[in-house]
Structure 1
Amino acid sequence: MEKRNFLLASNSPRRREMLGWLGWQFTVCPANIDESPLPGEAPEPYVLRLAGSKALAALSNAEAHQTVLAADTIVADGDVLLGKPANAAEAAAMLRQLRGRSHTVCTALAVIFPEDRASVRRAICVSQVPMRAYSEEEIEAYVTSGDPLDKAGAYAIQHSGFHPVEGFAGCFASVMGLPLCHLLRLTGQTADPYAICKSKLGYDCPISAAVLRGEALG
């Protein structure tokens, strides 16, 4: 199978790192769009719309041979969307809101292929994320580190010091911002995402094979 060359329409260092794990060739061109939700917009339509808008915004910067790839992630507590916190106080409030409960993380992908610039193909991964009952002291230390400030929901699932999530059994990569199995399925490319997540994240993914088969799991 011919390897595609990608234009990644994202400013996320985590997405750049994860796309690099696949060994794919890509350049980066962040797409700046209005990310405000529409009135009453639910989490899944919201991230699908934003991912598509980012891909379309980046399209004019793509070379003729490049496949445009965009992604968007949102943390949702019920119907309440939790984006990136504006400051430390907001980050702490989000972490308290999520503490000891499960919430939803939605990551949408959007792809525009060079052979069909008129179409935006989308996929979404929806994960249920159980948070542990971390202490106020842990919240304070984590917020002081600055790590939550550029992350939806004010946390990184992969943070080894804070480790906010326990009992998770979904797509770890999706909660980080780039669901690798869904990406492979959408683009038709090949890789071993199970081995990648095992090696890079220490995560023994229980759903990888099922997602690659086409099941709607997250």
Structure 2
Amino acid sequence: METFFLVPVFERYSKWLLFEISNAYRLIGNRLILSDVEDERLAKELRSRGILVFREDFTKVLKELPKPIIVLDPKAKVNLDPGEASSGTIIIGGILGSHPPLGRTSVLISSRFRGFKEFVYFRKIGDRQFTIDGALAVAWLISQGKKLEEIEVVNGLKITQKLPFGLQREIELPYAYPKVNGKLFVSKELLNYLLTS
């Protein structure tokens, strides 16, 4: 059986969001589904990249997706494991991270499932704060049979741009980034955007 990945997107249009979701789609493909996309510009650009996008609330979209449902919530007490991630639907919040985290996944997603314990499980992917695409990559790797502790993760990322006259500009991203097939999983579109904006 296949695992599907549902991302309720609670954000307005931003290039950052577009690039992260596109990066995840390149890895996961048609098993990535977005809901709650109310921003028409964002929906249009995501659809033009081949991504399945719904305006409807994630609880309605879930009715058509396989069970069980696993909600990835940093406040959960148990880590996701390959056995439970090998089928069903994993929900990952499409929430651009604040540093430190504000716990919005619990408020916007987990709280909507109280009382549905027979087919909904709350899990986390360790104690690090991942980007949206990074969290999707980790969940996907676990669904493919990797244990969380086997996934190599880099904490924080520093990108440097050389400027004229021997100057340079540094941008620090405080999030965790997994490695997929030995390579750091981060959107090249996003890095280029940050260095040119």
Using structure 1 for the length normalisation, give the TM-score: 0.32
More contact order relative to length (CA 8 Å, sep ≥ 6): 2
